[in-house]
């Protein structure tokens, strides 16, 4: 099978590979946290619809979406807002918006993070290897690949910077993209947003309660007074469960729930 990575990046035009190649690649790119760099289209449409009447009116909205993966659901959010006639700007953040592609002659291809420390994608002899090295077989392969990569870079084999965000997102005039770690303070973002969405990132499958509280506290700083935080998670059956909470003086107020609500309400101390 032709390499999805080469389909996307060989020509220098991500769009040239088409959506199929985009999905094939990003469904195999694994971030250091263990999260795959992919998402299903339209998975958050119902969340956006519940949020729509809760958004303030009377001016351009400043919005943020965090941990956006390829940004497809962010683009869909922007399109739904535009269809409702809501003027807005949407800032998308993700921990990995670019990578370094290193082609290993006669072996295959790898993607490294921008600091060239972590493997995000490994394809050897036409077969994909789990870059996390969680199984014994993949651990041996990953160790060998890291050694080869260090040697190749030491010999000045050229690595190429590539985009890990969908080209349709980059092309949208209402959406912009930044590299962002939701657990790192960002004073430049504080107090900017009317609403901020954290979908499929802040949950107990990834983080413990102390980390979750810290992440929520940092995201709250990015909100304007009485701004909205959307916390939601898509379960294995494709249904969404989440809560839309408003920043109040003493805590949070639940303004709406999707499905069973967010599993994190107990951490928020939110009131109905």
Dump pLDDT digits (tens) for 74-116.
999 999 999 999 999 999 999 999 999 988 877 888 888 888 8
Q: What pLDDT was estimated at residue 209?
A: 94
Q: Examine residue 40 and state whether it is found in any structural domain, yes or no.
A: no
Of these ranges, 18-32, 46-60, 109-123, 138-152, the one predicted with the greatest mean pLDDT is 46-60
Q: What pLDDT was estimated at residue 105?
A: 78
Same domain, 199 and 239: yes
Q: Examine residue 231 and state whether it is found in any structural domain, yes or no.
A: yes
How far, in whole angstroms, is CA 17 from its chain's centroid?
A: 21
Question: Residue 220 pLDDT > 50, yes or no?
Answer: yes
Domain-terminating residue out of 123, 146, 162: 162
Q: Decide which of 58 and 243 is more confident.
A: 243
Same domain, 8 and 112: yes
Structure tokens at 143: 């160790």
Range(s) of the domain holding residue 129: 4-30+98-162
Same domain, 251 and 199: yes
Q: What pLDDT was estimated at residue 103?
A: 84
Task: Residue 264: give its domain's CATH number.
Answer: 3.40.50.150
Average pLDDT, the chain: 87
Q: How many domains does the chain have?
A: 2
Q: What is the C-alpha separation between 75 and 92, in angstroms, rounded?
A: 9
Question: Residue 270 pLDDT > 90, yes or no?
Answer: no
Q: What pLDDT was estimated at residue 19?
A: 61
**Mean pLDDT within 26-55:** 86
Q: What is the C-alpha separation between 188 and 122, in angstroms, rounded?
A: 35
Question: Residue 1 pLDDT > 60, yes or no?
Answer: no
């Amino acid at each position: 099978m032709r390499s999805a990575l080469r389909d996307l990046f060989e020509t220098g035009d991500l769009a040239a590979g088409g959506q199929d190649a985009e999905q094939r690649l990003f469904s195999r790119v694994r971030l250091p946290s263990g999260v795959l760099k992919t998402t299903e289209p339209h998975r958050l449409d119902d969340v956006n619809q519940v949020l729509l009447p809760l958004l303030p009116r009377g001016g351009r909205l400043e919005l943020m979406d965090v941990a956006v993966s390829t940004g497809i659901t962010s683009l869909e959010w922007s399109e739904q807002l535009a269809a409702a006639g809501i003027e807005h700007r949407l800032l998308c953040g993700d921990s990995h918006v670019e990578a370094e592609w290193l082609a290993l002659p006669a072996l295959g291809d790898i993607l490294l993070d921008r600091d060239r420390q972590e493997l995000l994608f490994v394809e050897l002899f036409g077969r994909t290897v789990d870059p996390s090295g969680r199984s014994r077989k993949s651990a041996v392969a990953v160790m060998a690949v890291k050694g080869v990569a260090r040697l190749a870079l030491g010999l000045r084999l050229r690595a190429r910077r590539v985009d890990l965000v969908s080209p349709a997102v980059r092309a949208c005039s209402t959406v912009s993209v930044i590299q962002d770690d939701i657990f790192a303070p960002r004073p430049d973002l504080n107090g900017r947003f009317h609403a901020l969405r954290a979908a499929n990132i802040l949950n107990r499958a990834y983080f413990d309660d102390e980390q979750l509280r810290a992440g929520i506290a940092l995201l709250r700083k990015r909100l304007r007074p009485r701004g909205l935080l959307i916390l939601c998670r898509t379960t294995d059956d494709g249904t969404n469960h989440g809560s839309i909470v408003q920043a109040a003086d003493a805590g949070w107020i639940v303004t709406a729930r999707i499905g069973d609500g967010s599993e994190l309400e107990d951490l928020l101390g939110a009131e109905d």
